[in-house]
Amino acid sequence: MDQPIILDQLLKHSKKGMVSFHVPGHKSGKIYERFNYKNFTGQLLSMDITEIPGADNLHAPEEMIREAQERAAKFYKADQTFFLVDGTSCGIIAMLMAVANPGDKVIVPRDCHKSVIHGLILGNITPIYIQPEVWAEKGISMGVRPEAVEKALKECPEAKAVLITYPNYYGVCSDIEAIATIIHKYDKILLVDEAHGAHFNLSELLPISALEAGADIAVQSTHKTLPAFTQASMLHVRSERIDIHRLKVMLAMQQSTSPSYLLMASLDMARFIAESEGKFLMNHLLGHIDAFKSQVEQSGKIKILGKTEAEAHGAKSVDPTKILIDMINLGIQGTVLEELLRTKYHIQMELANINIALAVATIGNERNDFDRLAHGLLNIKDGKGIAHKRIETPLYSYQLPKMKLTPRQSIYMKKTTVDFTDSSGKISGEYIIPYPPGIPILCPGEELTTEVIEYTKALKKNGIQIIGLEDTTLQKINIIEL
Ligand SMILES: Cc1ncc(COP(=O)(O)O)c(C=O)c1O
């Protein structure tokens, strides 16, 4: 009989004692120990309950879940907070469907997460895309400018809402306050995908939180940057423009009817930790990050990308807890750096692209984690134990693709398979998504170009996973013929 594979792998992984610079924010549970919850994992199974008496019900909360959500709302200064057990993804889909009717238009940046596209498909909503700012040389998108949002609103006055990603995966932040002012001037709704910003209210040194900046709804992956279990997120509303009843209906359609109590408990725990000691811990974390940056940058050649670079490329600010490490001057690609840190130094980064490797630091990280990261980087800089080769990659222009069909129309169209290399000019029937970060280069219904084809092949050659295509070897692609 086949053994259970997932639990075995998880146990094997947990024995490795890796340093975590990736999500989830609890960093292998270390932070819980500091709060005297050392052995609680032993009780996980007996706590994995369902809606038994006294356990309340996420879909009609009246007791402990309601209380926990209210406490979270108070902490985040929201009118209402909803716990999400299917990640920020389900919150994004629900908020889109709560504010737009089938056939309506919503303005979204083209570099949005794929869950936004899923929301557009499910809600039969037509996207009006805004071109984001891009730092093409590093392959990083830099958010959207307020002027670009205003232009889109002028060109599409019938749009129901604007959805902004804030911050993006790399911690880059648009000028959300200016954007909120513009959107409300046009009497529209501001929806924010704040998946990477659940910790912003812990320090004045961090970018302003979306709600504080004026968002009507913000969805946060608490699990990414605070100590909550993977999949555990929150949706906050602070607005009179939102029909709460309709939002609840949409959330109920997107979330499991058997929500995990462990996830909900971890959300409540994350709120408690953030509220009780979050500011203190964040202060320490920012100190560790500053010390780490000076140490590695002093050595020359290792560059940590920050505010100056972000501003120079159109962004308003950058989250310092996202550490973007650039060693390309030494000929070390981000993907190679990630692999070296993982295999030789037992340090797991969050993501890498050709140019950079990204460390996500949270209040769950300790000083020692930064010492180990600095040690690894300095050794790699000195060429210890590495044989790396740089593969040249074409730069990508990040032009808005030609949308021939909406994502929803495309999903239901008949597909034909052709050679990927010869598919320029055809309409893609599939997504092309480098993962991470999960931002589509092309969505179903958009026109393939030689640039997209060559760039996708180069990413794959450089070890970046491409998802969304049925044939992940990139020999074939499904297209739509009109
Ligand atoms: C920008 C952005 N939005 C939304 C999501 C989806 O969040 P979740 O994994 O909590 O569903 C992600 C996930 O990586 C993301 O990077």
The pLDDT value recorded for residue 1 is 62
Candidate from 83, 86, 92, 113 with most ligand 1 atoms within 8 A of CB, to mutate:
113
Q: Can you name the residues that pair with 326 across neighbouring β-strands?
A: 303, 356
The pLDDT value recorded for residue 172 is 96
Final residue of a domain: which of 329, 364, 381? 381
CA distance 105 to 107: 7
The pLDDT value recorded for residue 390 is 57
The pLDDT value recorded for residue 23 is 80
The pLDDT value recorded for residue 18 is 85
Distances (CA, A) of 133 to 207, 294, 316, 397: 18, 28, 11, 11
312 plus 414 within the same structural domain: no
> Is the per-residue pLDDT at 39 higher than 80?
no
Q: 255 CB less than 6 Å from ligand 1? A: no
Average model confidence (pLDDT) across the chain:
92
Nearest-atom index, ligand 1, CA of 437: 16
The pLDDT value recorded for residue 289 is 98
The model's confidence at residue 393, banded by pLDDT at 50, 70 and 90, is low
The pLDDT value recorded for residue 388 is 56
In this prediction, residues 181-198 reach a mean pLDDT of 98
Q: 165 CB less than 6 Å from ligand 1? A: yes
341 plus 249 within the same structural domain: no
- Judge whether 317 lies within some domain: yes
Measured in angstroms, how far is the CA atom of residue 52 from the centroid of ligand 1? 31
Question: Bigger pLDDT: 195 or 393?
Answer: 195
Q: How many angstroms separate the first and last alpha carbons of the chain?
A: 49
In this prediction, residues 162-184 reach a mean pLDDT of 97
The pLDDT value recorded for residue 210 is 98
CA distance 49 to 260: 8
Q: 25 CB less than 6 Å from ligand 1? A: no
Final residue of a domain: which of 270, 287, 308? 270
Q: 233 CB less than 6 Å from ligand 1? A: yes
Q: How many residues does the chain have?
A: 482
The pLDDT value recorded for residue 391 is 59
Q: Which residue has the tokens 């709302």?
A: 73
In this prediction, residues 269-289 reach a mean pLDDT of 96
293 plus 239 within the same structural domain: no
CA distance 72 to 309: 34
The pLDDT value recorded for residue 314 is 85
Backbone phi, psi, residue 347, to 5°: -120, 125
176-185 helix and 146-155 helix, angle to the nearest 10 degrees:
20
- Judge whether 104 lies within some domain: yes
> Is the per-residue pLDDT at 387 higher than 60?
no
The model's confidence at residue 401, banded by pLDDT at 50, 70 and 90, is very high
Q: What's the domain count of the chain?
A: 3
The model's confidence at residue 385, banded by pLDDT at 50, 70 and 90, is low
Final residue of a domain: which of 270, 299, 316? 270
**Residues 52-102: pLDDT tens digits?**
888 899 999 999 999 999 999 999 999 999 999 999 999 999 999 999 999
Nearest residue to 354 via CA among 340, 326, 335? 335
255 plus 372 within the same structural domain: no
Q: 169 CB less than 6 Å from ligand 1? A: yes
The model's confidence at residue 465, banded by pLDDT at 50, 70 and 90, is confident
- Judge whether 388 lies within some domain: no
208 plus 80 within the same structural domain: yes
Q: Can you name the residues that pair with 164 across neighbouring β-strands?
A: 192
CA distance 251 to 213: 24
Which CATH number does the domain housing residue 61 bear?
A: 3.40.640.10
**Residues 345-367: pLDDT tens digits?**
999 999 988 889 999 999 999 99
The pLDDT value recorded for residue 131 is 87
The answer to whether 106 touches 127, Cβ cutoff 8 Å, is yes
Q: Is 241 helix (H, G, I), strand (E, B) or coil?
A: coil
> Is the per-residue pLDDT at 168 higher than 80?
yes
CA triple 352-13-9, angle to 5 deg: 110
Q: Is 187 helix (H, G, I), strand (E, B) or coil?
A: coil
- Judge whether 19 lies within some domain: no
Q: The domain containing residue 413 runs over which residues?
A: 407-480
Instruction: Give the E-state strand segments of 337-448 in sequence order.
Output: 347-348, 351-352, 356-360, 416-419, 427-428, 433-435
193 plus 131 within the same structural domain: yes
> Is the per-residue pLDDT at 4 higher than 70?
no
128 plus 230 within the same structural domain: yes
